[in-house]
Structure formats: structure tokens, C-alpha cells
Structure 1
Amino acid sequence: MPRRRRRSRVSALEGGRGEEAPPEAAAVPSAPLTSPQQTEAAAAERILLRGIFKIGRGSCDVVLSERALRWRPILPERPAGDSKYDWLCKEEFIELKDIFSVKLKRRCSVKQQRSGTLLGITLFICLKKEQNKLKKSTLDLINLSEDHCDIWFRQFKKILAVLEYEGHALSLLKECELQGFDGVQRFFTGIQTLEPSVVSVGGDGSASEVAHALLLRAQKNAGMETDRILTPVRAQLPLGLIPAGSTNVLAHSLHGVPHVVTATLHIIMGQVQLVDVCTFSTTGKLLRFGFSAMFGFGGRTLALAEKYRWMSPNQRRDFAVVKALAKLKPEDCEISFLPFNSSDDVQERREQGSPKSDCNDQWQMIQGQFLNVSIMAIPCLCSVAPRGLAPNTRLNNGSMALIIARNTSRSEFIKHLKRYASVKNQFNFPFVETYTVEEVKIHPRNTSGYNPEEEDETASENGFPWNVDGDLMEVSSEVHIRLHPRLISLYGGSMEEV
């Protein structure tokens, strides 16, 4: 079967008139061949429909089952052992979860306003490209029979049906009343989800703000006191992230690549995964929800960048890094952490509402002068760190990465920073320590990050600067970071694929 891919037509999604029939040499999108194991699994599936359609250049025996659409070319019988013949007879398939829309394909002339000559059925599908990227494509099932196509079209519509009634999603969104949160960029109905969805189009600041708003709203709906939350409830609405900012760490970590089309297709396909979230609190009061944080160099760099917002994002970032390195100084603090126990059943602990911080005998403490402290619940992939700021962390493994850089010379610290952009291990330095933890407490020994006798643009009377998901947070006392497994649903591919 020819493998040349036919150009996808966006107009087909809009159902515009004047659509031409595909040329005779048009080929189908490259679909995976069926392995013997897949053939056995297919035989066990319940067949919904079976018929003959023209796919590409030839007629095919097409079978629609509960999980996939499969087709095999109809060829005249030949002797067994013909390798070319065996290859041509290979069965191909597309999983139903990769189909996001269907329409009747017609050839319409200028005089025909609503209908035209029926050509068959067009399926709109989502295919893998490369490096975690996705692409949209179409598959044409050509058959001129109105009755035959109508039966198949109705079956596909039944499979893709998502909402109970017109306006269902809108009524649910109105009940949420999330308009008060500035970070909510756009609402829309997920094509393959029964619930409404929230989409953030922007960078890390917008994404983090929307996630915080959704989680905060979930606590209020559950009747919880939002100032003091030990065991938060999961957010009801899934969140989609379309990267459109100067930094897209969260979207990059979620999809494996900062690709707008890939992010959009994950939302359209309704591919959702649960992601771990941290709570940041001080003196028992909740400050915010987040995914990652930096204290010390990372916080001071962001505080400097915020003072030069008249610059472009890239210039502001580079300028702040250079200036923070020029005035590099350690923070004197005490760090307590609860190591991650992989044998613990995090799901059971969450359901029972038993915070691990009750086990005081398991806490460990280190103290001294630290140039930077990072706490990350996600890998934090970005352009300056292709492998991630915390490459050993996953989105939902129930743990955080605690990365500590003790006081050292400026040149050695710069070497450590440069390693993030290379394939070498950025943690292979004597002054860098890494831990896998569930909770962290960072207690600065100074009473405040502000000293009027020092010329420091990052100093503030409000406290020490923290970089939480790219947002500046100033706290003058101890900060307690807890990990809450799988607290929010984000649109993205499976962890194994990413």
C-alpha cells in the first residue's frame, strides 16, 4: 500500500462547501502494522461494523471494533510465501482514542449550497510525529453508498458523543464562577470529555496561577478552610496548557516538548494525567499551590528580573543572572526534610488523611550556608536545561527533588549552572547534594532578608525572595513545602511516552 501522506485540509474541519475529492493517488496516513499479539487482542474484541471501503488506491476490508478501526487490502489469492504479497496483505489499524472527529465527505459544486455527491467518510485523527510531538491528519473511507456510509457515520458519532445535551458544558462552567481569577485565560469544551475544561494560553506565570485558582476553588467547594490545608482535595476541572510565554517549564515538562500543536491535540483528544502538586505555607497558613520553587540564587535572580520588566524577557533574564552572579552570596538557613519512602502507599495515605509530618522521628536536618535550594515536584524541562532542572523527578511519582548547592566559589557555582545545558551530570560536584523527599521546611536564620546597610536590589522588607513557578513570593519566616500526590488533572500524554 502506498505510504505517501496526503496533505491535511483544515477546511474539512469547518465543513465548508466546495471541497474537492481526493486525487486518485491519494494515500492514507501511515498507520501502525498489526503484530501477532495485537491480532489476537483484536480477535477478542467485539466487532461493531464490517464493510468495504476504498482507502488510498485500493479496496479494503474494514472492521470497526470496540477499540480500533482495522483494514486489510482486498487482493486476489496468490501462492503462500510471496513476501511482497504478504506485506501488501498486512493489516493496519487506528485506535479509536486517536480519532477526534468525523464527517461525511461530499463533492459540492458552486450551485450546491448544502449537499453534494457523497464520496464517503472522513476521519480526523491524531498521530505521533517525533520527539513527543503530535500532528493531525485525515483518513478517507471512500464508498458512494448513502445507506452504507450513513450506518458507519452514525456509529462513529455515537462513539465520539461527549455531551449530554447542547449547552451542558456551558452550564457547568457557569456554576464554577472562575471569572474572578485573572489567570483563567479561556474556557472551552473538551471534545472527548464529559466535563468542561480550563485552558491557559501563556507562560509559567499564567499556568501556575490558573492551577492555583482551580485548586483553591476545589477547597472552597469542599468546605475546607483555605488558610490551613493539610490534605487538600483534588481539583474538579482538568487544566490544559498551551505554551505561549517566555518560559514554558510546566508545559514542557508535561508534554516533553514546548509544542503548541502537540499541547492542543492532547486537549482535543482528552488525554488527561494526574500530576503532583506542592503546598507552600508559613506559620501554618497556606501561601499558595505550586509545582517547583527556588530559594537563594534562584529567588534573587527573579527578584532582580522583576525590577527590569521594561526589558524584553530574554534580556531581563540574562541580565538578572549575570547581576546575581556578580553579587553571589549564600543564605544562612536550616533545612529539615522528610525522606521519600517508596514502599509507602501514597494513595492510601491520602484517602486516610494522615499527613506524614506526624512522624517526627523520620525528619532529617541540615544547616549551614547555601547558595541555592531547589524543591521540584516536576522535571522542570526548559530551553536552558533540556534534561530538566530535576531530571530524576516524574510528574506523579509522589516525591519531590530537593537539590542543595552549598557555599562555594563563584567559578565552581558557574560550572554547576553550565552543566544544566549539557549532557553531563549537573549534580556531580562536592558542594551539591540531592535528596528525594515528601516534605521540606526551610528556616532562614536571619530574621529578614532586608538589611538597610547593604546595597542589594533583591532585598525586601517583606522577606526573602522565592521563585515559585516563575512568580516572585516574599516570605520572612519558615516555609513548609508539602507534596500532595496527583492533586490536579492536566492534559498531556502518558508518562511512559514522554
Structure 2
Amino acid sequence: DACSVPISEIITVEEADTHGKHHSSGKWQKMEKPFAFTVHCVQRARRHRWKWAQVTFCCAEEPLCHLWLHTLQELLGKLASRPKHLLVFINPFGGKGHGKRIYERKVAPLFTLASITTEVIVTERANQAKESLYEINIDKYDGIVCVGGDGMFSEVLHGLIGRTQRNAGVDQNQPRAALVPSPVRIGIIPAGSTDCVCFSTVGTNDAETSALHIIVGDSLPMDVSSVHHSGTLLRYSVSLLGYGFYGDIIRDSERKRWMGLLRYDFSGVKTFFSHHCYEGTVSFLPARHTVGSPRDRKPCRAGCFVCRQSKQQLEEEQKRSLYGLENTEEMEEWKVVCGKFLAINATNMSCACPRSPRGLSPAAHLGDGSSDLILIRKCSRFNFLRFLVRHTNQYDQFDFAFVEVYRVKKFQFLSKHVEDEDSDLKERGKMRFGPMCTDAPPCCCAASNSSWNCDGEILSSSSIEVR
């Protein structure tokens, strides 16, 4: 109903100016009645955007006006999910370097309107936010807001997860360790180059929209993958783990930071024409608990049925495993895929962004306890271009003979040209899966490794274990 506003989408209510005029929607308007109150609320716009709107209600009598005002304020006070005090980290260097200005002009006024108090930290160096979260008292905050791109979100995420595991006595270097979830929520104000996490969760990379979602207390669970190598935690991933094409792009772009944001386009074109493929073995455990599939064309949306059902099935599966009612991990049915790959991608979300509105895996889900593993085998440069172009339109990018996609709970990758330090992981792989194609005679593939792109950061090892 265009004439109604849900209580959950009201920002605040206040008594209007009773001196004959009221400022509403940027215009001075003559008031017909002397008693009035203004409702500040969310107005839904096109393409998932939210806008701040104001509606003024006039009353014939002052008691009626006060009754409305107090009733609405009382109802808003009962919304326990809304934050009252937030810690804000601003990355002034990410994207186009507009993070501080975006926060001050678009976000801070809305937080003030909603009576949200904030403590703002403008970061001066990499990992400052992560280190701060290990030291400060986060119990006094209702949430943490990061103003920046995917890198800033990842930094805050690592700080929160690391602190929570430290306090709970969990060894993060143990791949099978059950991580303790943090009760603190993270909000994102997009101010980066791609803003993939924000676009995939909110549906747009608009700062005002994100601020309004934070104000009304919207939240959703997100899957996080741990990435290990030889019993050591490398990083956590929430969006993309990419080897081959996306790994080469990020590695090459790091050497060209002087180019600014153009470095990603330049490195992308260069990597495409280089057309390197990499030989290796991917072993994975299919996600049998999930009710969806990577090609079912059912995107993750608010109140997602797939995420709810998958979470229930995963919890039941974990309980059965805990009480020994099912086989242990060593007995689970792992699948093995060998070959030469142009790219190996694992996504915990669609990875949508303005350039690719549907993302790398359009039907990936935010909270179903699984990742979509996408394998792009060696093919012609023309066919690979066709695959890339489909990320920008409505066609199925998985509908190629050289592309395979699986929904998985865990996976490992062993490069054909494993370094000496990777021998431990390789031996464990042989014990678990038996003979592998990495033991086959060498073929014509170039003797080199790519790098893993983990949410925009380069990993030091090519052989990894992900869960």
C-alpha cells in the first residue's frame, strides 16, 4: 500500500514546526493545521535502492497529535534489533578515496537523525582496523560499520573472527576446528572499487541504502570459508576464492598500483590475452545438505527458503556426526577432478557487482553452508571470452562443455607443480583419495603456478584446503 509505512521502516518521529510553515522534501509548505508531527521513513526506489523520506501529519487537536507521537515512539522503542551505539571504521584510501566524504555527507546525518551514537576511527594503514578489534572493548557497541570496499570489510571480519576464537580458546590453525560465531554485526557503507559484498547482500552499492538498512536493524547470516595450508590458517573468505584468471589479475595489478582503479582493467585485458592455464587436482566434498543447486536459477533473496532449509539440514547433519551416527570425515565421499584449468573459482555468494549484476554464480546463497565451485577447463581464447561476456547478460555462463560447477562443503587444490613445502598436503591427499592424476606423466602444461585471489588479497600458497 503506497499510503502506509511499516513500523519497521520508520527511522524516527518528531514534532513538526508549529509556526505556520514546515520544511518537507526540500520545499517550504504552508501548514493548514497548527498541530503536526513528521515521520522520517524509508522510501523504496528502483533497483533495490532505499531513500530517506519525510511525511508530515496534521492534527486538529494537540492531544491527538501528542498521542500519535508518543505511540509511535513507544513502538519504535520496542524494536530491539536496532543499533544504538556503533563503532565506525573509515578507509580514506579505498576506491576513489571518497570514504570519509561519503560517510560525513550521506551517512552521519542519518545516524544522527536515528539517535545512533558513533565512535569513528579513520584508518591510516593496512590492518589497523583488524588490530584494533583485538584490543578494544567491543561489548559496548551494537555493531561495527566499515566504510570502504571489500578489503575493509574483510579486515573487520578477520578482526572479529580472530578475537572471538581467541576468547573462546579455538585454534584457528586447525582446519577441523568448529569456529564460534561472533554476536557482533558488521555493517557496510560502500566506498570501494567493486563493493561486491555490499552489492551481493543489499542489491546495490548505494551508501544511503546501506545506512538505512543499518538504522532499521536489518541483518542476515553469511557463510565464511577458512583457507588453510599445511595446518596454518591463511585467510577467511566471504566472497571469491579465485585461482588462474582472477588470481593472475590481482597479482599483476599489485605491481601497478600507481595506475589507480585502471590497473584492474589493464591487468584483466593483459591476463586474458596471456591465456595461461594451470594443471592440478581439485578434490571436493559435495554439499548434500543443501536443497538448491548452482544452476536452478533461484537467487538468494530476503527470507530465502534455500538458506533456511539448508541451515536446518546442516544442523541435523552436524548433530548426527557429533553423536557418531554417521561416518567420519575420512569416510565421506569426496570427488576428484584433474586437468588443466584457466580458472578455478569458489564463491560463497553471487559476487554480483555493477559490471556483473548477476555475479559469478547467480544462484549462490549467502547462508546455506556451502560454496559454489566453478571449474573452467582449458579452452580457446574465443570460448573463454564467450564465457566472460555471459557474466554481463542474462545467459547461463555455465552452459559450456568446458565449464563445471558444483555446490560443495569443502575442497582442496593441489597444483601439478607442487613446491617442496607443499609435500605434507600432497601426502595427506594421497592417503585420502588414493592415486591421483598428479602422479601421471607430465604433459605439455607450463611448469608454473598461479596465485589464489582471496577476496582481493593474494595468498602465499597455491595448494590450499578450504572449508
Normalization by structure 2: what TM-score?
Answer: 0.70
Q: 1:436 aligns with which of 393, 404, 407?
A: 407
Which piece of structure 1 moves more, 149-158 or 430-439? 149-158
- Who is 1:248 aligned against? 195
How far 1:160 sits from its partner (Å)? Answer: 2.0
Distance 2:198 2:461 in 1: 27
Q: Which amino acid aligns with 2:286?
A: P
Secondary structure at 2:204's aligned position in 1?
Answer: coil
Matching residue within 381, 398, 402 for 1:410: 381
Report deviation, 1:147. Answer: 2.9
Determine which of 271, 276, 284 is the counterpart of 2:218.
Answer: 271
The separation in 2 between residues aligned to 1:295 and 1:429, in whole angstroms, is 19
SS in structure 2 opposite 1:287?
Answer: strand
| Kept after mapping to 1: 8 A contact 2:43/2:53 | yes
Judged with a 3 Å threshold, the aligned counterparts in structure 2 of structure 1 residues 408 and 159 are, in CA distance, closer, same or farther, namely: same
Check whether the contact 1:377–1:401 (CA below 8 A) recurs between aligned residues: yes
Partner of 1:86: none
Asked if 1 retains the 8 angstrom alpha-carbon contact of 2:20 and 2:34, the reply is no
- Name the counterpart of 2:252: 304
1:227 and 2:173 correspond: yes
Q: CA separation in 1, counterparts of 2:327 and 2:38?
A: 53
Matches within 5 A, 1:95-494: 95-108=6-19, 119-161=35-77, 169=85, 181-183=127-129, 196-228=142-174, 230-291=177-238, 292-313=240-261, 315-341=262-288, 342=290, 345-349=313-317, 354=322, 358-448=329-419, 464-476=450-462, 478-482=463-467
Alpha-carbon deviation of 1:144?
A: 4.9
Q: In structure 2, do the counterparts of structure 1 residues 163 and 409 end up closer, same or farther at CA, with 3 Å as the change threshold?
A: closer
Kept in 1: contact 2:151–2:455 (CA 8 A): yes
Look up the match of 1:85. Answer: none
Provide the residue aligned with 1:113 in structure 2: none
- After TM superposition, give the deviation of residue 379 of structure 1 in Å: 0.4
Structure with the larger helix share: 2
User: 1:357, 1:126 → 2: CA distance?
Assistant: 49
SS in 1 for 2:395: coil
* Structure 2 CA distance for aligned equivalents of residues 163 and 127 of structure 1: 19
**2:190 maps to amino acid:** P
Q: CA deviation at 1:101?
A: 0.5
Q: Is residue 464–residue 475 contact of structure 1 (8 Å, CA) maintained in 2? A: no
Contact 1:464 1:474 in 2 (8 A): no
Match of 1:394, SS? coil
Provide, for residues 224-243 of structure 1, a one-character-per-residue CA deviation record: whole Å limited to 9, x for no partner: 12322521111221111111
TM-score (norm 1): 0.66
CA-to-partner distance for each residue in 1:172-196, whole Å, 9 max, x for gaps? x99xx9x995246999xxxxxx961
The 10-residue stretch of structure 1 (466-475 or 219-228) with the greater mean CA deviation from structure 2: 219-228
2:243–2:345 Cα contact (<8 Å) kept: yes
For 1:299, give the aligned amino acid.
G
Can you give the 5+ residue segments of structure 2 that lack an aligned partner in the other structure?
A: 22-32, 88-116, 134-139, 292-309, 422-446
Q: Distance in 2 between matches of 1:247 and 1:392?
A: 20
Summarize the Cα distance change of 1:284–1:217 in structure 2 as closer, same or farther, 3 Å threshold.
Answer: same
Partner in structure 1 of residue 438 of structure 2: none
Deviation at 1:323, TM superposition (A): 1.6
For residue 248 of structure 1, what is the amino acid of its counterpart? D
C-alpha deviation, 1:280, in angstroms? 0.9
> Equivalents in 1 of 2:161, 2:247: separation in Å?
24
Following TM superposition, by how much is the alpha carbon of 1:353 offset from its aligned partner in structure 2, in angstroms?
7.7
Q: Deviation of residue 148 (structure 1)?
A: 2.9
Instruction: Name which one, 1 or 2, has greater alpha-carbon Rg.
Output: 1
1:170–1:241 Cα change, 3 Å = closer
Cα 1:170–1:197, aligned 2, differ >3 Å: closer, same or farther?
closer
Q: Please state whether the residue corresponding to 1:263 is helix, strand or coil.
A: helix
> What is the rounded CA distance, in whole Å, between the counterparts of 2:214 and 2:328 in structure 1?
36
**Residue type matched to 1:472 in 2?**
I
Instruction: Give the AA of the match of 1:304.
Output: D
Q: Are 2:4 and 1:93 equivalent residues in the alignment?
A: yes
What stretches of structure 1 of length at least 5 have no aligned partner?
1-30, 33-91, 111-116, 188-193, 451-458, 483-498
Secondary structure of 1:442's aligned partner: strand
Q: Distance in 2 between matches of 1:276 and 1:367?
A: 27
CA distance 1:163–1:395, shift in 2 (3 Å): closer
When you count strand as a share of all residues, which structure comes out higher? 1
Q: Aligned with 2:128: secondary structure?
A: coil
Letter in 1 for 2:170: M
- Partner amino acid for 1:269? V
Distance 1:389 1:237 in 2: 29
SS of aligned partner of 1:149: helix
Q: Deviations over 1:246-304 (max 9, x none)?
A: 11111110111222221111111111111111111112222221112101111011100
1:284/1:307 CA distance change after superposition, 3 Å = same
Q: 1:446 corresponds to which letter in structure 2?
A: H
How far the C-alpha of 1:416 sits from its partner, in A, is: 1.5
Q: Verify the 8 A CA contact 1:338 1:357 in the aligned structure 2.
A: no
Cα distance, 1:327 vs structure 2: 2.3
